[in-house]
Amino acid sequence: MEITAGFITDFLGGTIKGDRNAIITGASTIENGKPGSISFLSNLKYEEFIYSSDATAILVDKTFEPAHPVKATLICVDNVYESLARLLEKFNTPATAVVREISNRAEIHDSVMKGKNVGIGAFSIIESDVEIGDEVEIKGQVFIGKGVKIGSNSIIMSGVKIMEGCVIGSNVIIHSNTVIGSDGFGFAPTGEGNYVKILQLGNVIIKDDVEIGSNCSIDRATFGSTIIHKGAKLDNLIQIAHNVEIGSHTVIAAQTGIAGSTKIGEHCRIGGQVGIVGHITIADGTQIQAQSGIQSSIKTANSKLFGSPALDYNNYLRSYAIFKNLPNLAEKVEKLNRELKARVHEGDA
């Protein structure tokens, strides 16, 4: 990559403060900016680095006002993260069309229907009656079970398992070692103190534009479908149980677990290590801070929650400010109680 700061500014629809002709040859973090690189500042926690960075250009918010002189050319945009994503996507796109190949070491059933320019890596297994759309890339050592459908332009990374009957939309990315359609956790206790397995007869539906991280498990439904709706983004190491629904454009961070039949709304943001019980609903736009526990339905849209069990975000912060000082508060209360008793005793005397 070798382009000018002015070209980047025009591409992003921003404004520039500095040299439009400055040459950009790569990208860097703001802490380790080097001449010729472009960096970004979106979190003001890192503002101190902008004044010492050797980066040639830095993406900043249009509202940013430097407190000190900045050596770099500033490219001012409405949304730094969105602009960065657009920039990286543009310059990571191959100049020529990608020609995909099907490895002769892949095992593909004769009934598989493949679209145009499909790639299938070595040691992948694709069972009967699978349908694969145009421009799909399936890496090595992938397993795709009977009757699976995969939409166009999707990418299935190495080691992914997609079990029978599941449906994957278009423009979906599934990262390594994730399992789609594993059995839901269903067992019925008997009078003898043991458990009988409940067959899981449903499937998983992943809709368009979803991205799923590595080492996730998304269980098939007992009946019907476990559904991840359009544009949802899942981090690594997430467990989604049978019959769960994740709303459109909801994002979920790593190590979150969601129990069976819970319905999560659209545009929710769920932090890492959140635990959510089964058979509840979570309203659109809900934000749940990391390590929170959700034990009942959230009915108010755009709620912000924290704690375990989770409380209103601001209420939790106020409560925690008191909680962490409880030993000192208890000592003060005990001291006041002793003084009060002493005064009462003196009055009786």
Tabulate helix, strand, coil % of the chain (nearest 5).
15, 30, 55
- pLDDT score for 343: 82
> Residue 97: what pLDDT?
75
Domain range for 311 is 107-315
> Contact at 8 Å (CB) between 212 and 174?
yes
Residue located via tokens 């009915």: 299
Would residue 100 count as lying in a domain? no
Task: Say if residue 55 is in the same domain as residue 151.
Answer: no
Whether residue 252 is found in the same domain as residue 115: yes
Residues 143 and 217 in one domain: yes
Query: What is the rounded CA–CA span in Å between residue 83 and residue 38?
Result: 12
* Residue 295 pLDDT: 93
Residue 207's domain is classified under what CATH number?
2.160.10.10
CB 200 within 8 A of CB 183: yes
Length of the chain: 349
Confidence (pLDDT) at 12: 96
* 109 counts as catalytic: no
Same domain, 114 and 258: yes
pLDDT score for 316: 85
Q: Are residues 113 and 15 in the same domain?
A: no
Where the chain has pLDDT below 50, the residues are: none
Residue 205 included in any domain = yes
Domain assignment present for 188 = yes
Place of tokens 């100049």: 95
Residues 67 and 112 in one domain: no
Residues 161 and 244 in one domain: yes
- The dihedral through the CA atoms of 93, 94, 99, 104 has a sign that is negative
* Catalytic pick among 242, 249, 267, 345: 242
Structure confidence by residue, pLDDT tens digits, 12-29: 999 999 999 999 998 999
Tell me whether residue 36 is in a domain: yes
- Asked if the structure places residue 41 within a domain, the reply is yes
CA distance 180 to 183: 9
Specify if 102 maps to a domain.
no
Distance CA(252)–CA(211), nearest Å, equals 11
Q: Per-residue pLDDT tens for 128-165?
A: 999 999 999 999 999 999 999 999 999 999 999 999 99
Under 8 Å between Cβ of 288 and 310 = yes
Q: Report the pLDDT value the prediction gives residue 139, as an integer from 0 to 100.
A: 98
Same domain, 67 and 202: no
Radius of gyration in angstroms for the set of CA atoms belonging to the chain, rounded to a whole number: 27
pLDDT at 1: 64
CATH number, domain of 54, equals: 3.40.1390.10
Q: Tell me: do 165 and 275 sit in the same domain.
A: yes
State whether 61 and 184 are in the same domain.
no
148 within 8 A of 156, measured Cβ to Cβ? no
8 A C-beta contact, residue 228 and residue 234: yes
Query: What is residue 76's three-state secondary structure?
Result: strand
**Percent over 70 (pLDDT), the chain:** 98
How many domains in the chain?
2
